[in-house]
Amino acid sequence: MDSFEKLGQFYLGKLFDLNAGSRLDEYLMYDSRDLVTHSVVVGMTGSGKTGLGIGILEEAAIDNIPAIVIDPKGDLGNLLLTFPRLEPGDFQPWVAEDEATRKGIPVEQYAAEQAEAWRKGLADWGQTPDRITRLRESAEFDVYTPGSTAGLPVSILNSFSAPPRAASVDMDLLRERIITTVSGLLGLIGIDADPLQSREHILLSNILENSWTTGRDLDLAQLIQMVQSPPIARIGVFDLDSFYPSNDRLRLAMQLNNLLAAPAFSAWMEGDPLDIDRFLYTPAGKPRISIFSIAHLSDAERMFFVTLLLNQVLGWMRAQPGTSSLRALLYMDEMFGFLPPVAQPPSKRALLTMLKQARAFGLGLVLATQNPVDLDYKALANAGTWFIGRLQTEQDKDRLLAGLTTAAASSGSGVDSARYADLLSRLAKRVFLMHNVHRAQPSLFQTRWTLSYLRGPMTRSQIKQLMDPRKDARAPLEITPAVSPRGVDLPAPGAVPAVQTPAYAAPRMQASSARPTVPSQWQEFFAPVKCVGGPEVSYQPYLFAAARVHIIDSRTGIGQAQDLAHGLRVEENNLSLIWDQAPALGVNLDELAPLPLPGVAFAPVPLDLLSRLRPADVERTYRDFLFRASEIRVWKSNVLKMTSQPGESERDFRIRLTQLFRERRDFELDQMRRKYSGRLDTLARQEAQALADLERQSQQYEQQKMQTYISVGSSVLGALFGSRRGGTIGRATTAARGAGRMSRERQDIGRAESRLEDVRQKRRILEDEMQANLQSISGGLDPQTEMLQEILVRPKKNDILIRAWGIVWVAE
């Protein structure tokens, strides 16, 4: 057998012969790109559904594909139980003690039996402990427990923040997100709200739409305040108080506030924010399998959290560039209640949107359930792969076949219902029927042995035992800045005007109402102020310079221009030109006003110092400073011949490289397969012809053998019972000729077998050649571990244009 370690291929098991009741030696390899068209896994308890799901996630991790995993039962935390040494001591903390008790053996002995079972099981399926090590090194596995601190906690504080612009330009999609968010929140306080009839739902939806369309972020506390004092005057044709009187709004605000104030709810406000990018990749850019265990939550809490999480996944998805390769997985186990055939829970809208649109962004959905009646099969028309295991009842089988037929018809394929019904009625444990629209025929296979130890659902205490050591080791997400820390801060165009006051700055000078007279060679500017008036606010003078810096580098393809401005505090006895100590002004030159606001006092200016300072010195020293400090750090992959974008961190660049590598790999795999497909098809036809010839020769041989045996028998009987001599001789002659023909037929069979073996040998040689070329495509490249080249790009002095200098007055 050839190796199952193939580029872009998931090793899910081996083909299975139902009639013989045994597995074959042929691997069931699954193209990872087929998951882009989504997958459904259906099977009753004990069918092996969890093992198949964990196998899919293991293969994804080995292929550097991250995943968001929603785990309503607690089974998928088993992905963290990987023991490369396969020693009993590794298994002992996780084995089920009640099983050992039931068997009447010590826990230590039961752990040793489990370790041996895993060692033997992996060996039977051609897997070594090294593959477990590879799995652990390929991705990071974490278990999150929203609403609990047993695993890694999750904060929902940013769940009401405005979605990314890419996710908010389509108003229909934005309103879908608003509907699902509000429905989930109201469900948490026990309100089953109709989006078209419920006052509560309509009010909260209008508040969110008003905030999100203007890019304003909210948290739950701000949302509660806005319920009391909404930023809108009318809802529909009615004024606000007619539609929803203030006393009624206060009661709704109190209900939401009780939720926020409840001590049990505090766990929802701690931990990692709902940031999908963070859940999919570590700070170093390593793929992450983030498992959200929600078995401990109530039904309302589950719906609330799953809805928020799915909305965040949607927002992340729409911000990604399009791709035909698999970028990430969303795996959801036990779909009961989340995608029902009739009802419209908040989660269903988000799932429907992803099932329709996620393919274009490389996000693959894998949805699993025990009961076929749990799923809306019309919604699953976009699911390209169905893994069907053993079902509970005939009704379940009939329901599944009806749904599969509907989904297949929607995708333009067909289903042989009679054949499928026969196969489904005979499925054994861990045997699945795979219907894949990307393959001409369905496949029966037995799932491989998992690399992870399947101990069953994990309790919160066991999750805590797993995750406590990781909590202290986890570091906050760090993004490498585009500019060296010793350099200047490159503000984004249109940044909010601000002046940072350094710690070394002199105390504010006492202000007077009179505006000082500044020498005519100095221009004056006035920074925007947020508040005016009062004795605590006054204009303070800063020595000011602004420039446009062009950074151009033909090697890396960088061509960037930035408008920069800095201000040095003017002290009573000192005018320093040490620009390295100057804070960057987050304001464009065009945003500075030529005149002050009325009612603001002015601090004095040391005119004697100012008159001795030449503007040319300001320009020269500022240009020197920008030349020294303005540098852009970029990263270069010498293998993929790619350079990061200005402002792109090493982490994000590695993530982008991984996806680009996967896309390039998939393209080259397609090219390679097309190159060999013609010759392989020819050999396949020759093999089929040779096999047909062998069968024909075998049939002819059997017929001739039967005729010869009859002739010989007749001759012998004639001799024994005294037949006439001539007749006996004739039959003997016929028998002899038959024996000769039988010998020639046997020789024909030998030649047919030789031709068949020759064709098969040619096919094996060609397949081995193709596989060798396919494996060479990667060249051992791993974008996660490649040593990237760091390049610092600085401007030339001639590319620094000083636009203005003078005094800028900042209200402080």
The CA–CA distances, whole Å, from 732 to 341, 572, 736 equal: 77, 135, 6
Output the pLDDT for position 3: 78
The CA–CA distances, whole Å, from 21 to 18, 431, 469 equal: 5, 10, 45
d(CA 98, CA 417): 43
CATH number of residue 453's parent domain: 3.40.50.300
Asked whether residue 771 carries a pLDDT value surpassing 80, the answer given is: no
pLDDT bin (cut points 50, 70, 90) of residue 401 is confident
Concatenated DSSP letters of 192-241: ---TTT-HHHHHHHHHHHHHHTTT----HHHHHHHHHS-S-SEETTEEHH
Same domain, 802 and 684: no
Count of the separate structural domains present in the chain: 4
Asked whether residue 648 carries a pLDDT value surpassing 60, the answer given is: yes
CB contact at 8 A, 793 and 627: no
Other beta carbons within 10 angstroms of residue 261's beta carbon come to 10
d(CA 367, CA 502): 54
Distance, C-alpha 311 to centroid of its chain: 14
Same domain, 414 and 473: yes
Q: Is residue 210 part of a domain?
A: yes
Same domain, 391 and 532: no
Asked whether residue 551 carries a pLDDT value surpassing 60, the answer given is: yes
Output the pLDDT for position 167: 61
Other beta carbons within 10 angstroms of residue 361's beta carbon come to 20
**Across residues 787-812, what is the average pLDDT?**
87
Asked whether residue 470 carries a pLDDT value surpassing 70, the answer given is: yes
Other beta carbons within 10 angstroms of residue 405's beta carbon come to 16
Q: Is residue 116 part of a domain?
A: no
d(CA 457, CA 74): 5
pLDDT by residue (tens digit) across 313-325?
998 998 899 999 9
d(CA 111, CA 561): 64
Q: Across the chain, what does the average pLDDT equal?
A: 84
d(CA 89, CA 780): 35
> Which residue in the block uniquely carries the two structure tokens 């019309």?
378
Asked whether residue 488 carries a pLDDT value surpassing 60, the answer given is: no
Same domain, 373 and 337: yes
CATH number of residue 699's parent domain: 1.10.287
SS3 432: strand
The CA–CA distances, whole Å, from 743 to 704, 713, 728, 739 equal: 9, 18, 23, 6
pLDDT by residue (tens digit) across 708-760?
666 655 665 565 555 555 555 555 555 556 566 667 777 778 888 888 888 88
pLDDT by residue (tens digit) across 224-279?
999 999 999 999 889 999 999 999 999 999 999 988 888 888 889 888 988 999 99
d(CA 684, CA 672): 18
Give the torsion sign (CA, 330, 336, 337, 341). Answer: positive
DSSP 648: -
Structural domain of 445: 8-83+128-153+289-478
Concatenated DSSP letters of 554-603: TTTTEEEEEEEEEEEEPBTTB----GGGPPBB-S-GGGSBSSPPTT-EE-
pLDDT bin (cut points 50, 70, 90) of residue 480 is very low
Other beta carbons within 10 angstroms of residue 725's beta carbon come to 10
Q: Is residue 767 part of a domain?
A: yes
Same domain, 140 and 177: no
Output the pLDDT for position 778: 62
**Domain edge (last residue) among 238, 270, 302:** 270
d(CA 357, CA 38): 11
> Which residue in the block uniquely carries the two structure tokens 């000078």?
509
Same domain, 209 and 183: yes
d(CA 55, CA 348): 26
Same domain, 341 and 405: yes
Higher per-residue pLDDT: 86 or 775: 86
d(CA 44, CA 429): 10
Give the torsion sign (CA, 162, 166, 172, 173). Answer: negative
Q: Is residue 750 part of a domain?
A: yes
Same domain, 26 and 64: yes
The CA–CA distances, whole Å, from 82 to 64, 85, 342, 473 equal: 17, 9, 40, 19
Question: Which positions ≥6 away from 16 have C-beta within 8 Å?
Answer: 22, 23, 24, 431, 444, 445, 446
d(CA 780, CA 125): 25
**Across residues 763-772, what is the average pLDDT?**
80
Asked whether residue 532 carries a pLDDT value surpassing 60, the answer given is: no
The CA–CA distances, whole Å, from 702 to 696, 705, 707, 738, 745 equal: 10, 5, 9, 12, 9
Q: Is residue 410 part of a domain?
A: yes
**Beta bridge partners of residue 565, listed in sequence order:** 546
pLDDT bin (cut points 50, 70, 90) of residue 505 is very low
pLDDT by residue (tens digit) across 140-171?
999 999 999 999 999 887 778 888 776 666 78
CA dihedral 724, 725, 728, 730 (to 10 degrees): -110
Question: Which positions ≥6 away from 687 have C-beta within 8 Å?
Answer: 756, 759, 760, 763
pLDDT by residue (tens digit) across 601-645?
888 888 777 777 888 888 889 999 998 888 888 888 888 888 888
Output the pLDDT for position 188: 85
Same domain, 175 and 231: yes
Other beta carbons within 10 angstroms of residue 233's beta carbon come to 8
Q: Is residue 187 part of a domain?
A: yes
**Beta bridge partners of residue 31, listed in sequence order:** 9
Same domain, 473 and 333: yes
Same domain, 586 and 718: no
For 386, the enclosing helix (H) or strand (E) is strand 385-388
Give the torsion sign (CA, 692, 696, 701, 706). Answer: positive
pLDDT bin (cut points 50, 70, 90) of residue 573 is low
Asked whether residue 775 carries a pLDDT value surpassing 80, the answer given is: no
d(CA 413, CA 37): 14
Same domain, 246 and 208: yes
Q: Is residue 761 part of a domain?
A: yes
Asked whether residue 498 carries a pLDDT value surpassing 60, the answer given is: no
**Domain edge (last residue) among 270, 300, 327:** 270
Question: In the chain, helix, strand, coil percent, each to 5?
Answer: 45, 20, 35
Find the range with the poorest average confidence among 70-79, 86-95, 164-173, 772-781.
772-781
**Across residues 74-94, what is the average pLDDT?**
96
CB contact at 8 A, 789 and 635: yes
Find the range with the poorest average confidence among 339-348, 389-398, 570-579, 714-723.
714-723
SS3 152: strand
pLDDT bin (cut points 50, 70, 90) of residue 506 is very low
Q: Is residue 670 part of a domain?
A: yes
